[in-house]
Structure 1
């Protein structure tokens, strides 16, 4: 299976994760987050995170050791189908309240999307990584060019969100900030597996670039 940036992975054994440098003492039994980086076919670039913002490290996982895989789209379906389960958390966490409010609107757009960052990690692991000041990060998988009207609807979601809302568009070749594109910056920073590039049209970039 091909894993994509922001997917969450569980491994069958701790030593299947190879951090860059010495294994950190804070490393907990939690999912790893797929990073955007070129890697050999038998390895997946991933990041590990603990309970605090400064507890993060990058490394690689053996692809054959992955025993569970959860995508952002799977997480938002869970929220859309069972929102009442997260209602009590939403009272204390604006980022969760924002996701509960936005989930049906995003579902109506028919896009493949879902939460990433701290909210996605919290939904997948149950670990207490969120605070009342946490942002809500979303990724929208859009290998085909999005209609300008859809871009406008997505951009407008930020207006009444109870927390900071960051949306990344993933073209399959790279990811870019929706706000940067929607606000007509001329060129956007496209983060690819081979590094960031400034482009006028993120959908025109091919893997060879």
Structure 2
């Protein structure tokens, strides 16, 4: 099942070239785009909501692509399970890779399924350079039940990293910030396929 944050490799001759209103930064190389990120939006008529990354933080474009254009799906959990960063050529260059070692060590203690997203996940999956010296480390933790005490312990442990770690908890009905949740101060923002909402209680959470 295709989910938000999945990386999709798309075939040559895909339908991106047919999209209208492409931004100026994308138009010159749209035919070269091979990797896209699944956005948090409904899949309608087999059209997958995707995001295309440019060369800078401000270059982002959201659109849709037919499921038939996808030739490979790479999940954040696959990147974590395969420890892809440990053999990556730039492992010693960027602090975000050492931070992944910390994340792996911490979350193993709680037996939580996780994976890198954002620029780190994209570069590990595609091999295309997107990480910079100032990149944060975005990760997802996939669970429907995490005690608030555990959330606080995890957030505290992540603060030992040399980069900012931004953990997002992916649940059945949406995603919440682990940092926000750990503060125990409702309401809390949950990101859903229908848009963001404020909720006072989180089903299944302690």
TM-score band, normalised by the shorter chain? 0.7 to 0.9
Is contact 1:19–1:57 with CA below 8 Å preserved after alignment?
no
Gaps of 5+ in 2: none
Does residue 38 (structure 1) correspond to residue 45 (structure 2)? The answer is no
Let me know the Cα RMSD of the aligned residues: 2.1
SS at match of 2:102: helix
Tell me the residue number matched to 2:100: 99
Alignment of 1:1-209 (within 5 A): 2-17=1-16, 19=19, 21-22=21-22, 24-27=27-30, 28-79=32-83, 84-86=86-88, 89-142=90-143, 144-203=144-203
Is contact 2:139–2:166 with CA below 8 Å preserved after alignment?
yes
Q: What is the rounded CA distance, in whole Å, between the counterparts of 1:202 and 1:16 in structure 2?
A: 39
Per-residue deviation, residues 4-48 of structure 1 (Å, max 9, x unmatched) = 100001122343336562263244433110000123141111101
How many residues align? The count is 199
Gaps of 5+ in 1: 205-209
Q: What is the rounded CA distance, in whole Å, between the counterparts of 2:86 and 2:142 in structure 1?
A: 26
SS at match of 1:110: coil
4+ residue stretches of structure 1 with deviation over 6 A? none
